[in-house]
Chains A and B, each alone.
Chain A
């Protein structure tokens, strides 16, 4: 299972890098979103995908899945959500201001 997850994460990383290297700002933001998805999946995978009950004591199971990475991912998701929201608004603002979403144009129009 970890193998398949690793391959999926690898594909997501590749897609993210490809998108981030493109010229359109919107594609870049999508790329960063996919990058953070990949990273969260990686965190989940690397902490082990052994079967066990959800980490709730009410389940009264013999074994539970590791709760720590879930907390870490939850934290990271929220942080990335905030940053992505800010990034989108920034992109909107710079579209209004610079009248372009092409990064080469942004570079040219941004002044010295």
Chain B
């Protein structure tokens, strides 16, 4: 039942990245290769979703070695849908990058890093082996370090230091956890692990290992342990924050969902309750952060955290409705977060600043962006005809079925605060009296520029801006092209909302594997 299609979401971006490294100074070539690669990925992901829909879970044992001995790639509906979403977001963000990232970054390997990031993300979604998941995580993280720091402003350097440190620690913990798991079970293949743990039952040591894995993935996903997140997500250029917000935390969430529905699903009353509480606390802290700040990027970064909390809560209800809701909301959340960051990038460019106090009346300058932002904000909060509604509805239903009335109502209240936080961006930013373009560049004194030149020793190493805001000075980027890529996602948000019933059949299929892990194990080990 080997299906070679599964390798392509990894292989295509990998080959594209290598080609782009060779064509370093030919920006046009790099762009074409990147665009072709991403569009191919989207096409293949669509075919993959179709095949999984028609004929069940697809697997690819690498090198022909059967499941527990070799590495196996697995595409169930959940993974296939996530690969599709990440490919679409990759394509859209790439086109957004064409119009905004700037020549200096393009020459310094922005596109290869971008492609490697997608290799890591797609690999994490498709792998069926825990150690391979670690390797894919590292591929993704190392590209993300480079993407954050590329440009080398003071703020980027500082935030990358923090980001690398936290990720080295969490990766080390991941390897340590795998050591314990290997000692306890003697395997690292997920399906095989699931089978072995079913045989021996979930004893104390396995629960400890499960908690360690939860800690590791929570660090990656920003579930409660999110304190590293706002800084690195606000310092790089907009397109990088958009792709991070859409993909990176969701990979951690995917790992949590996969681990706790496939491997550690017995006797998990305690851990599921813990995940539920962590989700609620994350949501509350996230929305507190979202209303505490007055910087567009930062408000959205805290909304990312709140979204993670809600998805984790959906998982923790551990019933069908809750899991379907979590999957639906996760797909919606990936798209809407990328869209909001993109629109915020256009806003920041139009206003010349990220601070809400310094912007108002933007609706006159960029009316289309304004209304798009308005509708996206409604979609984020889950207003009925739009994409966020069905996911939230199902999560709430799952919460009630589980009997967590107070927690579920709390999660609904945080949705309100979420809506308030983004509506505040809309009202302060777009309404009111129009202001002249705030030129933040004036705030950088001449001696700072001179200092840059002397320390770099080479004007080409000179960063073009002291803050990411300045990458988007009006006129140095192409707002129309940016709007075009953002509108693709906007259409998608509307379409997901309107076509929720149609998408629901796929989501239900994805959730059915999560509630019946035996199906997954059977597909990998049974056919062997």
> Could you tell me the distance in whole angstroms from the C-beta of A12 to the nearest C-beta in chain B?
11
Asked if residues B149 and A43 are in contact (CB atoms below 8 Å), the reply is no
Asked if residues B157 and A36 are in contact (CB atoms below 8 Å), the reply is no
Asked if residues B142 and A98 are in contact (CB atoms below 8 Å), the reply is no
Residues in B with CB closer than 8 Å to A107 are 158
Asked if residues A46 and B179 are in contact (CB atoms below 8 Å), the reply is yes
Asked if residues B161 and A91 are in contact (CB atoms below 8 Å), the reply is yes
A90 an interface residue at 8 Å Cβ cutoff? Answer: yes
Chain A's closest residue to B135 (CB) is: A75
> Could you tell me the distance in whole angstroms from the C-beta of B137 to the nearest C-beta in chain A?
10
Q: Quick one: which of B142, B154, B165 contacts A111, CB cutoff 8 A?
A: B154
Residues in B with CB closer than 8 Å to A111 are 154-155, 158, 466-467
Asked if residues B142 and A32 are in contact (CB atoms below 8 Å), the reply is no
> Could you tell me the distance in whole angstroms from the C-beta of B129 to the nearest C-beta in chain A?
11
Q: Quick one: which of A47, A79, A93 contacts B183, CB cutoff 8 A?
A: A47
B210 an interface residue at 8 Å Cβ cutoff? Answer: no
Residues in A with CB closer than 8 Å to B161 are 25, 90-91, 94, 103, 106
A24 to B180, CA, bound (A): 32
A35 to B154, CA, bound (A): 28
Residues in B with CB closer than 8 Å to A69 are 179, 182
A39 an interface residue at 8 Å Cβ cutoff? Answer: yes
Residues in A with CB closer than 8 Å to B172 are 32, 35-36, 38-39
Categorize the interface residue count of chain B. Answer: 20 to 34
A79 to B142, CA, bound (A): 9
A33 to B391, CA, bound (A): 43
Binary flags per residue of B150-170, CB closer than 8 Å to A gives 1, else 0: 001011011111001100110
Residues of A that sit less than 8 Å from B by CB? 20, 25, 28, 32, 35-36, 38-40, 42-43, 45-48, 68-69, 72, 75-76, 79-80, 82-83, 86-87, 90-91, 93-94, 96-98, 103, 106-107, 109-112
Of all A-B residue pairs in the complex, the 7 with the closest CB atoms, nearest first, are A110-B158, A46-B183, A46-B179, A94-B157, A43-B179, A39-B175, A32-B168
Chain A's closest residue to B295 (CB) is: A112
Given known contacts A43-B178, A97-B455, A86 and B154 CB-to-CB distance under 8 angstroms: no
Residues of B that sit less than 8 Å from A by CB? 131, 134-135, 138, 142, 145-146, 149, 152, 154-155, 157-161, 164-165, 168-169, 171-172, 175-176, 178-180, 182-183, 188, 455, 466-467
Residues in A with CB closer than 8 Å to B171 are 79, 83
Q: Quick one: which of A35, A72, A91 contacts B178, CB cutoff 8 A?
A: A72
Asked if residues B179 and A90 are in contact (CB atoms below 8 Å), the reply is no
27 A-B pairs with C-beta separation under 8 A: A20-B165, A32-B165, A32-B168, A39-B175, A43-B179, A46-B179, A47-B182, A76-B134, A82-B142, A83-B138, A83-B164, A83-B171, A86-B146, A90-B157, A90-B160, A90-B161, A90-B164, A93-B152, A93-B157, A97-B152, A98-B157, A106-B158, A107-B158, A109-B158, A110-B155, A110-B157, A112-B155
A4 to B387, CA, bound (A): 56
Residues in B with CB closer than 8 Å to A79 are 135, 138, 171
Asked if residues A42 and B142 are in contact (CB atoms below 8 Å), the reply is no
A43 to B171, CA, bound (A): 13
Asked if residues A97 and B154 are in contact (CB atoms below 8 Å), the reply is yes
Residues in B with CB closer than 8 Å to A47 are 179, 182-183
Residues in B with CB closer than 8 Å to A82 are 142
> Could you tell me the distance in whole angstroms from the C-beta of B516 to the nearest C-beta in chain A?
30
Residues in B with CB closer than 8 Å to A83 are 138, 142, 145, 164, 168, 171
Residues in B with CB closer than 8 Å to A45 are 179
Residue from B135, B159, B169, B466 having most chain A Cβ neighbours under 10 A = B169
A38 to B173, CA, bound (A): 10
A93 to B467, CA, bound (A): 17
Residue from A20, A96, A112 having most chain B Cβ neighbours under 10 A = A112
Q: Quick one: which of B135, B165, B175, B178 contacts A28, CB cutoff 8 A?
A: B165
Asked if residues A32 and B169 are in contact (CB atoms below 8 Å), the reply is yes
> Could you tell me the distance in whole angstroms from the C-beta of B169 to the nearest C-beta in chain A?
7
Asked if residues A42 and B179 are in contact (CB atoms below 8 Å), the reply is yes
Residues in A with CB closer than 8 Å to B146 are 86
